[in-house]
Each structure stands twice: as structure tokens, then as C-alpha cells.
Homo-oligomer: A and B are copies of this chain.
Amino acid sequence: MEKNTKEKLIEAGEKLFALKGLAGVSIRELSQEAGANSALISYYFGSKEGLYAAILENQFSPIGALLDSAAREDASPTEKIISYARNVAVVHGRVPFLTKFMMGEILNPSRFFEPVIRKYIERAYRFLTDTLNEGIACGEFRKDMDVKTAALSLAGIINFYFISRPIFRHFVSDSSAQDEQYVMQAVDIFLNGVKNYDGQ
């Protein structure tokens, strides 16, 4: 199954933009990585930014589906959070640069942050705070916890791992199984931290 040029350019962009950011990559570099002519970036995507925007859409679309199913799920708050975290790890296995693009946009927002990224982040934040509030209401989680703090903590636990993994490659080996193992253990620490021990 021979890949066409458009797909090759997208794959090159995923790799290089994830590594160096939008401003850090030139169309010459992109076309060389893809084994294609630099003029074809304009031909297929209008511009370098057009390629970047197409990649952002590709990367983030799985998150929408994940949040839909997470919100619909009929389970306890604790189970919802475990299931959500596992799904994030699974999605990361399929879309390995997703966290890099998300953190890159949070850190140095491009002009696509507001129109395309923000809504995903707000939906994830909303899912977490809603689930945490639900858990407090039903007695699973501590009443004295600040849900904003807890939501940001959990987001940090998961996201930081995926962007810092290249740095810690020497210590921590990286495989899809390792990713899921980390996320499950980290979520376990988090859930222990917010659990209500004062009885049901």
C-alpha cells in the first residue's frame, strides 16, 4: 500500500512539528523529511500553517470521541476517572504526538489555539470537574477538596508524563504497555489522594 504525497507530508509534519514546534520547522525541512517537493505543501494545504492546521485536526479529533463516551458512561465517579485515564493512554498509543501538540499549544499558542484547541481542553476540564463534584456528592471523594485543584492535578499527572518521556528515556523504558502501567499507577495515587476515608 503506497502512501501518497499528501499523507507523507502529514506524517513528516506530525514528527517535525511535535519535535520543534510550528515556528521551528521550515517547509524545506518538511518536504525533505517527506521525500516530496516543497511546492506541494502549498498545493495540498495552501501554506505551512495550513498543513499544521490539518495535523491539529487529525490529532485532536479522537479526543472528542473519547470525551463523548466518557461523559455518557454509566459508572461511579471513581470508575469514570479510571476509564478516562485508560482511554487517554490508549489514544496516546494510536496518536503518539497528541500530548505534544496539546502542550505545545498551551505553552506557545498558535493562532489555532482559540478556534480549535480551547474547546477540547475546556471539555476535558469540564468532564473532570463534573466527575469530581459528582464523587463528592455521593461520598466517594473528600468533601474538603478543591475540585479545580484536583482537576488540574490529574491533568498534570497524565500530560506531563507523555511530554517528559523522551527526557526520562534513560530511566524509564517506553512502550505502550509502560504507558498504560504508568497512567494506571498514577491515577491510583490520585484517587487515593481524593478518596473519602470517613466512611460512606
Residues of A at the B interface (CB closer than 8 Å) are 19-24, 100, 103-104, 106-108, 118, 121, 125, 145-146, 148-150, 152-153, 155-161, 163-164, 167-168, 171-172, 182, 185-186, 188-195, 197
Contacts and interface: CB of A to CB of B under 8 A. Distances in A.
A159 B195 CA distance: 23
B152 A121 contact: no
A160 B152 contact: yes
A150 B20 contact: no
List the number of copies, as a whole number.
2
A146 B108 contact: no
B164 A155 contact: yes
Given A100-B107, A125-B171, A145-B185, 11 more contacts: A21-B24, A24-B108, A145-B189, A148-B171, A149-B186, A150-B186, A152-B164, A152-B182, A156-B161, A190-B193, A193-B194
A185 B146 contact: yes
B167 A118 contact: yes
Contact of A23 (B24, B172, B191, B194): B24
